[in-house]
Structure 1
Amino acid sequence: MPTNRRRAVTIFATALAGSVAAPGVARAAGGGSGRPRVRPLRAAHAHNDYLHPRPLHDALAHGFTSLEADVFLVDGELLVAHTPAELDPARTLRSLYLDPLHARVRANHGSVYRGHRRPVQLLIDIKADGVACYRELDRQLRRHHAILSEYAHGRVRLRAVTPVVSGDRAARDPLAAQGQRYAFYDGRPDDLGTPAPASLIPLLSANWNHGFTWQGTGTFPAAERARLHAFVAAAHGNGQRVRFWATPDAPGPAREALWSELLAARVDHLNSDDLAGLERFLRARGEWPTR
Protein backbone atom coordinates (compact mmCIF):
# COMPACT_ATOMS: atom_id res chain seq x y z
CA MET A 1 0.00 0.00 0.00
CA PRO A 2 1.47 3.44 -0.87
CA THR A 3 2.65 5.48 2.08
CA ASN A 4 0.09 8.30 1.65
CA ARG A 5 -2.81 5.86 1.40
CA ARG A 6 -1.61 3.91 4.45
CA ARG A 7 -1.39 7.15 6.41
CA ALA A 8 -4.93 8.16 5.38
CA VAL A 9 -6.35 4.78 6.42
CA THR A 10 -4.58 5.01 9.79
CA ILE A 11 -5.93 8.52 10.43
CA PHE A 12 -9.46 7.44 9.48
CA ALA A 13 -9.34 4.35 11.71
CA THR A 14 -8.02 6.38 14.65
CA ALA A 15 -10.75 9.00 14.24
CA LEU A 16 -13.45 6.33 14.01
CA ALA A 17 -12.19 4.57 17.13
CA GLY A 18 -12.11 7.86 19.02
CA SER A 19 -15.69 8.70 18.06
CA VAL A 20 -16.89 5.33 19.32
CA ALA A 21 -14.94 5.38 22.57
CA ALA A 22 -15.53 8.98 23.67
CA PRO A 23 -17.63 9.06 26.87
CA GLY A 24 -21.00 10.72 26.66
CA VAL A 25 -20.98 10.96 22.86
CA ALA A 26 -23.23 9.11 20.45
CA ARG A 27 -23.20 9.08 16.65
CA ALA A 28 -25.85 11.25 15.06
CA ALA A 29 -29.01 9.41 13.99
CA GLY A 30 -29.27 8.06 10.43
CA GLY A 31 -29.44 10.48 7.55
CA GLY A 32 -27.47 13.18 9.38
CA SER A 33 -23.94 14.45 8.94
CA GLY A 34 -22.43 11.87 11.28
CA ARG A 35 -21.29 14.56 13.73
CA PRO A 36 -21.12 13.42 17.38
CA ARG A 37 -24.11 14.08 19.60
CA VAL A 38 -23.84 14.56 23.35
CA ARG A 39 -26.04 12.44 25.60
CA PRO A 40 -27.79 14.80 28.07
CA LEU A 41 -27.28 14.37 31.80
CA ARG A 42 -30.52 14.79 33.73
CA ALA A 43 -28.84 15.73 37.02
CA ALA A 44 -26.26 18.25 35.75
CA HIS A 45 -26.86 21.90 36.73
CA ALA A 46 -24.43 24.61 35.57
CA HIS A 47 -24.21 27.06 38.46
CA ASN A 48 -23.26 30.58 37.31
CA ASP A 49 -23.17 29.24 33.77
CA TYR A 50 -22.46 32.67 32.27
CA LEU A 51 -18.96 32.74 33.80
CA HIS A 52 -17.71 30.07 31.39
CA PRO A 53 -15.88 31.10 28.21
CA ARG A 54 -18.91 30.19 26.08
CA PRO A 55 -22.06 30.69 28.17
CA LEU A 56 -24.75 28.10 27.37
CA HIS A 57 -22.67 26.36 24.71
CA ASP A 58 -19.98 24.98 27.03
CA ALA A 59 -22.62 23.52 29.35
CA LEU A 60 -24.53 21.94 26.48
CA ALA A 61 -21.31 20.47 25.09
CA HIS A 62 -20.92 18.67 28.45
CA GLY A 63 -24.52 17.43 28.43
CA PHE A 64 -25.97 19.72 31.10
CA THR A 65 -29.76 19.98 31.26
CA SER A 66 -30.06 22.86 33.72
CA LEU A 67 -28.33 26.24 33.47
CA GLU A 68 -28.27 29.26 35.75
CA ALA A 69 -28.01 32.92 34.73
CA ASP A 70 -28.05 35.92 37.08
CA VAL A 71 -29.76 39.02 35.69
CA PHE A 72 -30.06 42.74 36.44
CA LEU A 73 -32.51 45.15 34.81
CA VAL A 74 -30.55 48.07 33.35
CA ASP A 75 -32.17 50.71 31.12
CA GLY A 76 -34.93 48.31 30.12
CA GLU A 77 -32.60 45.42 29.28
CA LEU A 78 -31.81 42.24 31.20
CA LEU A 79 -28.03 42.02 31.59
CA VAL A 80 -26.31 38.85 32.74
CA ALA A 81 -23.75 39.28 35.55
CA HIS A 82 -23.02 38.21 39.10
CA THR A 83 -22.55 41.72 40.52
CA PRO A 84 -23.28 45.26 39.28
CA ALA A 85 -19.54 45.83 38.79
CA GLU A 86 -19.49 43.14 36.10
CA LEU A 87 -22.35 44.48 34.00
CA ASP A 88 -21.71 44.64 30.25
CA PRO A 89 -24.37 45.96 27.83
CA ALA A 90 -23.36 43.32 25.30
CA ARG A 91 -24.08 40.43 27.67
CA THR A 92 -27.86 40.26 27.62
CA LEU A 93 -30.14 37.37 28.52
CA ARG A 94 -31.45 37.45 24.98
CA SER A 95 -28.07 37.26 23.27
CA LEU A 96 -26.48 34.71 25.60
CA TYR A 97 -29.47 32.41 26.21
CA LEU A 98 -32.88 33.10 24.70
CA ASP A 99 -31.88 33.69 21.09
CA PRO A 100 -29.32 30.84 20.83
CA LEU A 101 -31.66 28.41 22.60
CA HIS A 102 -34.44 29.28 20.17
CA ALA A 103 -32.12 28.76 17.21
CA ARG A 104 -30.90 25.43 18.58
CA VAL A 105 -34.41 24.13 19.23
CA ARG A 106 -35.45 25.01 15.69
CA ALA A 107 -32.39 23.25 14.29
CA ASN A 108 -33.08 20.16 16.43
CA HIS A 109 -36.75 19.96 15.45
CA GLY A 110 -38.22 20.90 18.80
CA SER A 111 -35.65 20.03 21.45
CA VAL A 112 -32.40 21.39 22.87
CA TYR A 113 -30.73 17.99 22.46
CA ARG A 114 -31.86 16.26 19.30
CA GLY A 115 -34.07 13.31 20.14
CA HIS A 116 -34.27 14.24 23.84
CA ARG A 117 -37.79 15.34 24.72
CA ARG A 118 -37.31 16.34 28.36
CA PRO A 119 -37.12 20.13 28.82
CA VAL A 120 -33.86 21.85 29.63
CA GLN A 121 -34.22 24.13 32.65
CA LEU A 122 -33.13 27.77 32.46
CA LEU A 123 -32.86 29.08 36.02
CA ILE A 124 -33.00 32.88 35.89
CA ASP A 125 -31.75 34.41 39.15
CA ILE A 126 -33.11 37.95 39.53
CA LYS A 127 -30.56 39.90 41.58
CA ALA A 128 -32.58 43.08 42.25
CA ASP A 129 -35.80 44.96 41.42
CA GLY A 130 -37.81 41.74 41.38
CA VAL A 131 -41.15 43.10 40.15
CA ALA A 132 -39.80 45.29 37.35
CA CYS A 133 -37.23 42.68 36.36
CA TYR A 134 -39.86 39.95 36.11
CA ARG A 135 -42.15 42.12 34.01
CA GLU A 136 -39.37 42.69 31.48
CA LEU A 137 -38.48 39.00 31.61
CA ASP A 138 -42.10 38.10 30.91
CA ARG A 139 -42.09 40.36 27.84
CA GLN A 140 -38.93 38.74 26.53
CA LEU A 141 -40.09 35.19 27.20
CA ARG A 142 -43.31 35.77 25.27
CA ARG A 143 -41.24 36.49 22.16
CA HIS A 144 -39.86 32.97 22.48
CA HIS A 145 -43.09 31.25 23.50
CA ALA A 146 -42.83 28.58 20.82
CA ILE A 147 -39.95 26.85 22.65
CA LEU A 148 -40.95 27.52 26.27
CA SER A 149 -42.95 25.47 28.73
CA GLU A 150 -46.25 27.18 29.49
CA TYR A 151 -48.73 27.47 32.32
CA ALA A 152 -52.23 28.39 31.13
CA HIS A 153 -55.25 28.48 33.44
CA GLY A 154 -54.39 25.50 35.59
CA ARG A 155 -52.59 23.36 33.03
CA VAL A 156 -48.88 23.00 32.22
CA ARG A 157 -47.57 22.26 28.74
CA LEU A 158 -43.91 21.27 28.60
CA ARG A 159 -41.76 22.36 25.68
CA ALA A 160 -38.02 22.39 24.99
CA VAL A 161 -37.00 24.96 27.64
CA THR A 162 -38.52 25.56 31.07
CA PRO A 163 -37.66 28.99 32.55
CA VAL A 164 -37.65 29.05 36.37
CA VAL A 165 -37.35 32.36 38.21
CA SER A 166 -35.13 32.50 41.30
CA GLY A 167 -33.47 35.19 43.37
CA ASP A 168 -35.39 38.31 44.42
CA ARG A 169 -38.52 37.05 46.19
CA ALA A 170 -40.55 40.08 45.04
CA ALA A 171 -40.84 38.48 41.60
CA ARG A 172 -43.11 35.75 42.94
CA ASP A 173 -46.31 37.78 43.27
CA PRO A 174 -46.57 39.10 39.69
CA LEU A 175 -45.62 35.67 38.35
CA ALA A 176 -48.16 33.81 40.49
CA ALA A 177 -50.92 36.27 39.58
CA GLN A 178 -50.74 35.46 35.88
CA GLY A 179 -53.31 33.11 34.40
CA GLN A 180 -50.99 32.41 31.50
CA ARG A 181 -47.18 32.57 31.67
CA TYR A 182 -43.94 31.11 30.36
CA ALA A 183 -42.04 30.99 33.65
CA PHE A 184 -42.22 29.06 36.90
CA TYR A 185 -40.88 29.76 40.38
CA ASP A 186 -37.93 28.42 42.36
CA GLY A 187 -39.20 27.70 45.87
CA ARG A 188 -37.45 27.18 49.18
CA PRO A 189 -37.84 24.41 51.79
CA ASP A 190 -40.51 26.48 53.54
CA ASP A 191 -42.67 26.12 50.44
CA LEU A 192 -42.84 22.35 50.86
CA GLY A 193 -46.30 21.36 51.96
CA THR A 194 -47.87 24.77 51.34
CA PRO A 195 -50.86 25.23 49.03
CA ALA A 196 -48.54 26.45 46.23
CA PRO A 197 -48.70 23.68 43.59
CA ALA A 198 -45.93 22.26 41.41
CA SER A 199 -47.48 24.14 38.48
CA LEU A 200 -46.20 27.30 40.20
CA ILE A 201 -43.20 25.89 42.10
CA PRO A 202 -41.73 22.89 40.26
CA LEU A 203 -38.32 23.30 41.92
CA LEU A 204 -37.22 23.62 45.56
CA SER A 205 -33.71 25.01 46.07
CA ALA A 206 -31.81 25.31 49.35
CA ASN A 207 -28.43 26.33 50.70
CA TRP A 208 -26.80 23.05 51.74
CA ASN A 209 -25.13 24.68 54.74
CA HIS A 210 -28.42 25.87 56.21
CA GLY A 211 -29.68 22.34 56.73
CA PHE A 212 -26.60 20.14 56.92
CA THR A 213 -23.19 20.21 58.57
CA TRP A 214 -21.57 17.39 56.57
CA GLN A 215 -19.12 18.53 53.86
CA GLY A 216 -18.24 15.14 52.38
CA THR A 217 -15.44 14.19 54.78
CA GLY A 218 -15.92 11.30 57.19
CA THR A 219 -19.27 9.66 57.81
CA PHE A 220 -22.50 11.33 56.80
CA PRO A 221 -24.42 11.70 60.10
CA ALA A 222 -27.35 9.28 60.12
CA ALA A 223 -29.81 11.95 61.22
CA GLU A 224 -28.76 14.27 58.39
CA ARG A 225 -29.00 11.48 55.82
CA ALA A 226 -32.49 10.62 57.04
CA ARG A 227 -33.51 14.29 56.88
CA LEU A 228 -32.17 14.60 53.32
CA HIS A 229 -34.03 11.50 52.10
CA ALA A 230 -37.25 12.58 53.80
CA PHE A 231 -37.10 16.07 52.27
CA VAL A 232 -36.48 14.78 48.75
CA ALA A 233 -39.19 12.13 49.05
CA ALA A 234 -41.71 14.71 50.25
CA ALA A 235 -40.83 17.07 47.39
CA HIS A 236 -41.13 14.30 44.83
CA GLY A 237 -44.47 13.34 46.34
CA ASN A 238 -45.65 16.87 45.47
CA GLY A 239 -44.24 16.63 41.94
CA GLN A 240 -41.37 19.00 42.77
CA ARG A 241 -37.67 18.70 41.99
CA VAL A 242 -34.82 19.45 44.43
CA ARG A 243 -31.52 21.34 44.13
CA PHE A 244 -28.94 22.38 46.72
CA TRP A 245 -26.47 25.19 46.22
CA ALA A 246 -23.27 25.92 48.21
CA THR A 247 -22.26 22.26 48.20
CA PRO A 248 -18.48 21.60 48.17
CA ASP A 249 -17.19 22.11 44.63
CA ALA A 250 -13.41 21.72 44.94
CA PRO A 251 -12.23 18.60 43.07
CA GLY A 252 -11.52 15.69 45.37
CA PRO A 253 -13.00 12.85 47.43
CA ALA A 254 -15.17 15.10 49.62
CA ARG A 255 -17.04 16.53 46.66
CA GLU A 256 -17.59 13.09 45.14
CA ALA A 257 -18.74 11.64 48.47
CA LEU A 258 -21.33 14.38 48.86
CA TRP A 259 -22.48 14.10 45.25
CA SER A 260 -22.86 10.34 45.75
CA GLU A 261 -25.11 10.91 48.75
CA LEU A 262 -27.20 13.40 46.79
CA LEU A 263 -27.66 10.88 44.00
CA ALA A 264 -28.56 8.16 46.49
CA ALA A 265 -31.25 10.47 47.91
CA ARG A 266 -32.55 11.14 44.37
CA VAL A 267 -31.72 14.85 44.40
CA ASP A 268 -32.63 16.05 40.91
CA HIS A 269 -29.92 18.63 40.18
CA LEU A 270 -26.27 18.53 41.25
CA ASN A 271 -24.92 22.07 41.42
CA SER A 272 -21.41 22.78 40.08
CA ASP A 273 -19.18 25.33 38.37
CA ASP A 274 -16.93 22.49 37.17
CA LEU A 275 -18.59 21.32 33.95
CA ALA A 276 -16.03 18.67 33.04
CA GLY A 277 -15.76 17.38 36.61
CA LEU A 278 -19.48 16.88 37.10
CA GLU A 279 -19.85 15.33 33.65
CA ARG A 280 -17.11 12.78 34.41
CA PHE A 281 -18.71 11.96 37.76
CA LEU A 282 -22.18 11.39 36.32
CA ARG A 283 -21.09 9.47 33.24
CA ALA A 284 -18.99 7.13 35.37
CA ARG A 285 -22.20 6.20 37.21
CA GLY A 286 -24.40 5.83 34.15
CA GLU A 287 -27.77 7.36 33.42
CA TRP A 288 -30.52 7.15 36.02
CA PRO A 289 -34.09 8.48 35.95
CA THR A 290 -35.10 11.52 37.96
CA ARG A 291 -38.21 13.62 38.12
Structure 2
Amino acid sequence: MNLYTRRTAVVSLGAALAAGLTAPAAARDTVVHTTGPAPLRRAHAHNDYEHPRPLFDALDHGFGSVEADIWLVDGRLLVAHEEGDLDPARTLEALYLSPLRRRIQANGGTVYRGHRLSLQLLIDIKTAGDPTYRALSRVLRRYRELLSVCSAGRVRGGPVTAVVSGDRAARAPMEAERVRLAFYDGRPEDLGTAAPASFAPLVSASWSEMFDWQGVGPMPTEQRERLRQLVTAAHSERRRLRFWATPDLAGPAREAVWTQLLDAGVDHLNSDDLPGLETFLRTAH
Protein backbone atom coordinates (compact mmCIF):
# COMPACT_ATOMS: atom_id res chain seq x y z
CA MET A 1 0.00 0.00 0.00
CA ASN A 2 1.45 3.40 -0.97
CA LEU A 3 1.76 6.67 0.88
CA TYR A 4 -1.51 8.24 -0.08
CA THR A 5 -3.89 5.29 -0.16
CA ARG A 6 -3.35 4.82 3.59
CA ARG A 7 -4.74 8.32 4.11
CA THR A 8 -7.82 8.16 1.94
CA ALA A 9 -11.25 9.06 3.20
CA VAL A 10 -13.98 6.55 3.90
CA VAL A 11 -15.87 5.92 0.66
CA SER A 12 -18.70 3.70 -0.48
CA LEU A 13 -19.97 1.31 -3.11
CA GLY A 14 -23.09 2.48 -4.91
CA ALA A 15 -25.91 -0.02 -5.10
CA ALA A 16 -28.47 -0.08 -7.91
CA LEU A 17 -31.77 1.68 -7.43
CA ALA A 18 -34.73 -0.47 -6.55
CA ALA A 19 -36.32 -2.20 -9.53
CA GLY A 20 -39.21 -0.35 -11.12
CA LEU A 21 -37.97 3.22 -10.58
CA THR A 22 -38.30 5.31 -13.72
CA ALA A 23 -36.14 8.36 -12.95
CA PRO A 24 -33.99 9.57 -15.87
CA ALA A 25 -30.45 8.16 -16.08
CA ALA A 26 -28.90 11.51 -15.12
CA ALA A 27 -30.99 11.63 -11.96
CA ARG A 28 -30.19 8.04 -11.08
CA ASP A 29 -26.49 8.82 -11.40
CA THR A 30 -26.53 11.53 -8.72
CA VAL A 31 -28.69 10.08 -5.96
CA VAL A 32 -27.29 8.94 -2.62
CA HIS A 33 -26.01 5.36 -2.92
CA THR A 34 -26.45 2.85 -0.12
CA THR A 35 -23.77 0.52 1.15
CA GLY A 36 -23.21 -2.47 -1.11
CA PRO A 37 -20.46 -5.00 -1.84
CA ALA A 38 -16.91 -3.83 -1.26
CA PRO A 39 -15.54 -1.83 -4.19
CA LEU A 40 -12.85 -3.47 -6.29
CA ARG A 41 -9.62 -1.60 -5.62
CA ARG A 42 -7.77 -3.56 -8.30
CA ALA A 43 -10.32 -3.05 -11.10
CA HIS A 44 -9.25 -0.45 -13.68
CA ALA A 45 -11.66 0.65 -16.42
CA HIS A 46 -9.45 1.13 -19.46
CA ASN A 47 -10.88 3.60 -22.03
CA ASP A 48 -13.74 4.15 -19.60
CA TYR A 49 -15.22 6.98 -21.69
CA GLU A 50 -16.16 4.53 -24.47
CA HIS A 51 -18.83 2.86 -22.34
CA PRO A 52 -22.50 3.89 -22.74
CA ARG A 53 -22.40 5.73 -19.39
CA PRO A 54 -18.82 6.91 -18.81
CA LEU A 55 -17.81 6.75 -15.15
CA PHE A 56 -21.17 5.45 -13.93
CA ASP A 57 -20.97 2.06 -15.64
CA ALA A 58 -17.62 1.54 -13.90
CA LEU A 59 -19.00 2.70 -10.56
CA ASP A 60 -21.99 0.39 -10.91
CA HIS A 61 -19.51 -2.49 -11.22
CA GLY A 62 -17.53 -1.29 -8.21
CA PHE A 63 -14.35 -0.26 -10.04
CA GLY A 64 -11.67 1.53 -8.04
CA SER A 65 -9.98 3.16 -11.03
CA VAL A 66 -11.15 4.72 -14.31
CA GLU A 67 -9.18 6.07 -17.25
CA ALA A 68 -9.89 9.12 -19.43
CA ASP A 69 -7.80 10.24 -22.41
CA ILE A 70 -7.67 14.03 -22.80
CA TRP A 71 -6.88 16.37 -25.69
CA LEU A 72 -6.26 20.09 -25.32
CA VAL A 73 -8.38 21.75 -28.03
CA ASP A 74 -8.93 25.51 -28.05
CA GLY A 75 -8.25 25.68 -24.33
CA ARG A 76 -10.69 22.88 -23.44
CA LEU A 77 -9.90 19.35 -22.27
CA LEU A 78 -11.86 16.97 -24.49
CA VAL A 79 -12.12 13.24 -23.82
CA ALA A 80 -11.64 10.71 -26.64
CA HIS A 81 -9.34 7.90 -27.72
CA GLU A 82 -8.74 9.17 -31.26
CA GLU A 83 -8.64 12.74 -32.56
CA GLY A 84 -11.42 11.97 -35.01
CA ASP A 85 -13.76 11.15 -32.10
CA LEU A 86 -13.44 14.53 -30.39
CA ASP A 87 -16.75 16.11 -29.38
CA PRO A 88 -16.89 19.59 -27.77
CA ALA A 89 -19.58 18.36 -25.37
CA ARG A 90 -17.43 15.51 -24.03
CA THR A 91 -15.09 17.37 -21.70
CA LEU A 92 -13.22 16.03 -18.69
CA GLU A 93 -15.42 18.17 -16.49
CA ALA A 94 -18.71 17.07 -18.07
CA LEU A 95 -17.93 13.34 -18.10
CA TYR A 96 -15.96 12.96 -14.86
CA LEU A 97 -15.28 15.88 -12.55
CA SER A 98 -18.75 17.42 -12.35
CA PRO A 99 -20.55 14.05 -11.98
CA LEU A 100 -18.08 13.02 -9.29
CA ARG A 101 -18.69 16.27 -7.42
CA ARG A 102 -22.46 15.70 -7.51
CA ARG A 103 -22.12 12.09 -6.41
CA ILE A 104 -19.70 12.88 -3.59
CA GLN A 105 -21.90 15.72 -2.34
CA ALA A 106 -24.97 13.47 -2.45
CA ASN A 107 -23.12 10.74 -0.56
CA GLY A 108 -21.89 13.07 2.17
CA GLY A 109 -18.29 13.26 0.96
CA THR A 110 -17.68 9.80 -0.44
CA VAL A 111 -17.70 7.97 -3.77
CA TYR A 112 -18.48 4.53 -2.29
CA ARG A 113 -20.38 4.63 0.99
CA GLY A 114 -18.95 2.65 3.90
CA HIS A 115 -15.67 1.48 2.29
CA ARG A 116 -12.15 2.93 2.41
CA LEU A 117 -11.15 3.85 -1.11
CA SER A 118 -9.99 6.89 -3.06
CA LEU A 119 -11.22 6.51 -6.63
CA GLN A 120 -8.27 6.74 -9.01
CA LEU A 121 -8.92 8.96 -12.02
CA LEU A 122 -6.13 8.12 -14.47
CA ILE A 123 -5.87 11.00 -16.95
CA ASP A 124 -3.95 10.05 -20.10
CA ILE A 125 -2.61 13.09 -21.94
CA LYS A 126 -2.80 12.77 -25.75
CA THR A 127 -1.62 16.25 -26.76
CA ALA A 128 1.62 18.05 -25.87
CA GLY A 129 2.26 17.32 -22.21
CA ASP A 130 3.40 20.72 -20.90
CA PRO A 131 0.50 22.92 -22.06
CA THR A 132 -2.05 20.16 -21.55
CA TYR A 133 -0.98 19.59 -17.96
CA ARG A 134 -1.03 23.32 -17.22
CA ALA A 135 -4.61 23.47 -18.50
CA LEU A 136 -5.48 20.37 -16.51
CA SER A 137 -4.00 21.84 -13.34
CA ARG A 138 -6.21 24.91 -13.72
CA VAL A 139 -9.30 22.72 -14.14
CA LEU A 140 -8.43 20.51 -11.17
CA ARG A 141 -8.15 23.55 -8.90
CA ARG A 142 -11.87 24.09 -9.43
CA TYR A 143 -12.49 20.66 -7.87
CA ARG A 144 -9.93 20.86 -5.11
CA GLU A 145 -12.34 19.68 -2.40
CA LEU A 146 -12.67 16.30 -4.17
CA LEU A 147 -9.01 15.55 -4.73
CA SER A 148 -6.01 14.09 -3.00
CA VAL A 149 -3.36 16.78 -2.67
CA CYS A 150 0.41 16.81 -2.26
CA SER A 151 1.92 19.85 -0.56
CA ALA A 152 5.66 20.07 0.06
CA GLY A 153 5.95 16.31 -0.26
CA ARG A 154 3.11 15.54 2.16
CA VAL A 155 -0.01 13.81 0.85
CA ARG A 156 -3.57 14.26 2.09
CA GLY A 157 -6.05 11.81 0.62
CA GLY A 158 -9.36 12.83 -0.90
CA PRO A 159 -12.34 10.94 -2.36
CA VAL A 160 -10.68 11.09 -5.81
CA THR A 161 -7.00 10.77 -6.70
CA ALA A 162 -5.98 12.16 -10.10
CA VAL A 163 -2.98 10.46 -11.71
CA VAL A 164 -1.50 11.86 -14.92
CA SER A 165 -0.25 9.52 -17.64
CA GLY A 166 0.61 9.88 -21.32
CA ASP A 167 2.98 12.49 -22.71
CA ARG A 168 6.08 12.58 -20.49
CA ALA A 169 6.55 16.32 -21.02
CA ALA A 170 3.88 16.83 -18.34
CA ARG A 171 6.42 15.84 -15.72
CA ALA A 172 8.35 19.12 -15.58
CA PRO A 173 5.39 21.41 -14.80
CA MET A 174 4.07 18.85 -12.30
CA GLU A 175 7.38 18.74 -10.42
CA ALA A 176 7.49 22.53 -10.35
CA GLU A 177 4.22 22.82 -8.44
CA ARG A 178 4.57 23.32 -4.71
CA VAL A 179 0.97 22.16 -4.23
CA ARG A 180 -0.25 19.47 -6.62
CA LEU A 181 -3.73 18.09 -7.14
CA ALA A 182 -2.45 15.29 -9.36
CA PHE A 183 0.18 12.56 -9.23
CA TYR A 184 2.46 11.04 -11.87
CA ASP A 185 2.16 7.68 -13.60
CA GLY A 186 5.71 6.38 -13.86
CA ARG A 187 7.29 3.65 -15.98
CA PRO A 188 9.50 0.72 -14.94
CA GLU A 189 12.59 2.80 -15.69
CA ASP A 190 11.48 5.19 -12.94
CA LEU A 191 11.94 2.46 -10.33
CA GLY A 192 15.08 3.03 -8.30
CA THR A 193 15.19 6.74 -9.11
CA ALA A 194 14.91 9.70 -6.77
CA ALA A 195 11.25 10.42 -7.64
CA PRO A 196 9.32 9.79 -4.40
CA ALA A 197 6.10 7.81 -4.18
CA SER A 198 4.41 11.05 -3.14
CA PHE A 199 5.05 12.24 -6.72
CA ALA A 200 4.83 8.97 -8.70
CA PRO A 201 2.73 6.46 -6.72
CA LEU A 202 1.85 4.40 -9.81
CA VAL A 203 4.06 2.57 -12.33
CA SER A 204 2.47 1.40 -15.58
CA ALA A 205 3.85 -0.72 -18.41
CA SER A 206 2.72 -2.49 -21.58
CA TRP A 207 2.23 -6.19 -20.91
CA SER A 208 2.77 -7.16 -24.54
CA GLU A 209 6.08 -5.29 -24.68
CA MET A 210 7.44 -6.91 -21.52
CA PHE A 211 6.03 -10.45 -21.72
CA ASP A 212 5.60 -12.91 -24.59
CA TRP A 213 3.17 -15.07 -22.64
CA GLN A 214 -0.45 -14.29 -23.46
CA GLY A 215 -2.18 -16.83 -21.27
CA VAL A 216 -1.90 -19.95 -23.43
CA GLY A 217 -0.23 -22.82 -21.61
CA PRO A 218 1.79 -22.39 -18.41
CA MET A 219 3.52 -19.07 -17.85
CA PRO A 220 7.26 -19.55 -18.46
CA THR A 221 9.21 -19.61 -15.22
CA GLU A 222 11.56 -16.81 -16.19
CA GLN A 223 8.64 -14.53 -17.11
CA ARG A 224 6.81 -15.32 -13.88
CA GLU A 225 9.96 -14.46 -11.95
CA ARG A 226 10.41 -11.21 -13.89
CA LEU A 227 6.81 -10.26 -13.06
CA ARG A 228 7.35 -10.91 -9.37
CA GLN A 229 10.57 -8.92 -9.39
CA LEU A 230 8.76 -5.94 -10.87
CA VAL A 231 6.04 -6.14 -8.23
CA THR A 232 8.63 -6.42 -5.46
CA ALA A 233 10.59 -3.44 -6.81
CA ALA A 234 7.47 -1.27 -7.06
CA HIS A 235 6.13 -2.23 -3.65
CA SER A 236 9.50 -1.74 -1.97
CA GLU A 237 9.23 1.91 -3.06
CA ARG A 238 5.56 2.09 -1.99
CA ARG A 239 4.35 2.34 -5.57
CA ARG A 240 1.51 0.47 -7.25
CA LEU A 241 1.93 -1.49 -10.49
CA ARG A 242 -0.38 -1.69 -13.52
CA PHE A 243 -0.09 -3.24 -16.98
CA TRP A 244 -1.97 -2.17 -20.07
CA ALA A 245 -2.36 -4.27 -23.25
CA THR A 246 -3.11 -7.46 -21.34
CA PRO A 247 -5.33 -10.01 -23.16
CA ASP A 248 -8.93 -8.83 -22.93
CA LEU A 249 -11.00 -11.32 -24.92
CA ALA A 250 -13.21 -13.40 -22.64
CA GLY A 251 -11.88 -16.92 -22.20
CA PRO A 252 -9.26 -19.08 -20.47
CA ALA A 253 -6.25 -17.12 -21.74
CA ARG A 254 -7.46 -13.86 -20.24
CA GLU A 255 -8.32 -15.54 -16.95
CA ALA A 256 -4.90 -17.20 -16.86
CA VAL A 257 -3.16 -13.83 -17.23
CA TRP A 258 -5.42 -12.20 -14.65
CA THR A 259 -4.73 -15.05 -12.24
CA GLN A 260 -0.98 -14.61 -12.59
CA LEU A 261 -1.34 -10.85 -12.05
CA LEU A 262 -3.33 -11.42 -8.87
CA ASP A 263 -0.96 -14.08 -7.59
CA ALA A 264 2.05 -11.82 -8.18
CA GLY A 265 0.41 -8.92 -6.34
CA VAL A 266 -0.12 -6.54 -9.28
CA ASP A 267 -2.25 -3.67 -7.98
CA HIS A 268 -4.56 -2.93 -10.94
CA LEU A 269 -6.06 -5.23 -13.56
CA ASN A 270 -6.84 -3.46 -16.82
CA SER A 271 -9.99 -4.21 -18.84
CA ASP A 272 -12.66 -2.82 -21.13
CA ASP A 273 -15.00 -5.65 -20.04
CA LEU A 274 -16.49 -4.24 -16.84
CA PRO A 275 -18.82 -7.13 -15.92
CA GLY A 276 -16.18 -9.70 -16.88
CA LEU A 277 -13.51 -8.23 -14.62
CA GLU A 278 -15.96 -7.66 -11.78
CA THR A 279 -17.09 -11.31 -11.92
CA PHE A 280 -13.49 -12.52 -12.01
CA LEU A 281 -12.37 -10.42 -9.04
CA ARG A 282 -15.39 -11.22 -6.91
CA THR A 283 -14.96 -14.97 -7.45
CA ALA A 284 -11.14 -15.23 -7.60
CA HIS A 285 -9.41 -16.96 -4.69
Of 100-109 and 35-44, more deviation after overlay is shown by: 35-44
The SS at the match of 2:172 is helix
Counterpart of 2:156 in structure 1 is 157
Give me the whole-angstrom Cα distance separating, in 2, the residues matched to 1:33 and 1:225: 43
Give me the whole-angstrom Cα distance separating, in 2, the residues matched to 1:94 and 1:35: 25
Counterpart of 2:43 in structure 1 is 44
Counterpart of 1:266 in structure 2 is 265
Give me the whole-angstrom Cα distance separating, in 1, the residues matched to 2:242 and 2:110: 23
- C-alpha deviations, 1:157-183, integer Å up to 9, x for none? 111000000001111110011110100
Relative to 1, partners in 2 of residues 1:117 and 1:110: Cα closer, same or farther, differing over 3 Å? farther
Q: Any conservation in 1 of the 2:15–2:33 contact (CA below 8 Å)?
A: no
Match runs of 1:53-64 below 5 Å = 53-64=52-63
Counterpart of 1:169 in structure 2 is 168
Tell which has more relative contact order, 1 or 2 (C-alpha 8 A, sep 6+): 2
The SS at the match of 2:164 is strand
Amino acid paired to 1:230: Q
- C-alpha deviations, 1:168-217, integer Å up to 9, x for none? 11111100111101000000000001000101100000000121110000
Q: Any conservation in 2 of the 1:70–1:125 contact (CA below 8 Å)?
A: yes
Q: Once superposed, which parts of structure 1, at least 4 consecutive aligned residues long, lie more than 4 Å away?
A: 24-28, 32-36
- C-alpha deviations, 1:104-129, integer Å up to 9, x for none? 11122222101223211000000012
Amino acid paired to 2:223: E
Relative to 1, partners in 2 of residues 1:144 and 1:193: Cα closer, same or farther, differing over 3 Å? same
Give me the whole-angstrom Cα distance separating, in 2, the residues matched to 1:70 and 1:271: 15
Match runs of 1:110-259 below 5 Å = 110-259=109-258
Relative to 1, partners in 2 of residues 1:33 and 1:52: Cα closer, same or farther, differing over 3 Å? closer
Give me the whole-angstrom Cα distance separating, in 2, the residues matched to 1:58 and 1:220: 32
Amino acid paired to 2:157: L
Gaps of at least 5 residues in structure 2 are 1-12, 18-30
Equivalent pairs, count: 260
Alignment partner of 1:74 is 2:73: yes
Q: Any conservation in 2 of the 1:149–1:160 contact (CA below 8 Å)?
A: yes
Give me the whole-angstrom Cα distance separating, in 2, the residues matched to 1:105 and 1:112: 5
Amino acid paired to 2:39: P
Amino acid paired to 1:170: A
Give the percent of matched residue pairs that are identical in Structure 1 and Structure 2.
61
RMSD: 1.9
Q: Any conservation in 2 of the 1:189–1:206 contact (CA below 8 Å)?
A: yes
Amino acid paired to 1:252: G
Relative to 1, partners in 2 of residues 1:88 and 1:239: Cα closer, same or farther, differing over 3 Å? same
- C-alpha deviations, 1:143-168, integer Å up to 9, x for none? 11111000001101111000000001
Q: Any conservation in 2 of the 1:26–1:39 contact (CA below 8 Å)?
A: no
Relative to 1, partners in 2 of residues 1:27 and 1:49: Cα closer, same or farther, differing over 3 Å? closer
Q: Any conservation in 1 of the 2:33–2:113 contact (CA below 8 Å)?
A: no
Q: Any conservation in 2 of the 1:111–1:117 contact (CA below 8 Å)?
A: no
Give me the whole-angstrom Cα distance separating, in 2, the residues matched to 1:25 and 1:87: 30
- How far apart are residue 49 of structure 1 and its match? 0.1
Give me the whole-angstrom Cα distance separating, in 2, the residues matched to 1:69 and 1:34: 23
TM-score (norm 2): 0.88
Q: Any conservation in 2 of the 1:117–1:160 contact (CA below 8 Å)?
A: no
Give me the whole-angstrom Cα distance separating, in 1, the residues matched to 2:32 and 2:80: 36
Alignment partner of 1:92 is 2:91: yes
